[in-house]
Structure 1
Amino acid sequence: METTGLDGDSEIVEITIIDLDENPLFETLIKPVSLIPEEAPPSTESQTKWLKMLQAHR
């Protein structure tokens, strides 16, 4: 699970379910309600592309 930060206003932006061998079984990105702060950089390349696309459509 990835979030926009660690405080009480943080939002979940990605959920991944993996098996015991760490193979992804399910992965989804979630559009946050608020803008993602600069100090919370995306952790994966696909998430970076997705978040840039979302922010461009605001």
Structure 2
Amino acid sequence: MPDKDRVIGSAKRAKGTVKQVVGKVIGDAKLEAEGTAADKVEGSVQNAIGGLKDALKEK
């Protein structure tokens, strides 16, 4: 079972992707940038932390 950080991180990345797409569709540059910069990066970092935790558990 994946670490909860991996699950939460993946959800944040998905949220960022949705914000990016919606921002692009409605022409809201701020929303688009927020999805790209904040949520996707934060989700990727949290997902990586969860991956490290999983790797440490396996040893």
Higher strand share: 1
Normalising by structure 1, report the TM-score. Answer: 0.28
Q: Which has the higher contact order (CA 8 A, sep 6+)?
A: 2
Normalising by structure 2, report the TM-score. Answer: 0.28
Higher helix share: 2
Larger radius of gyration: 2
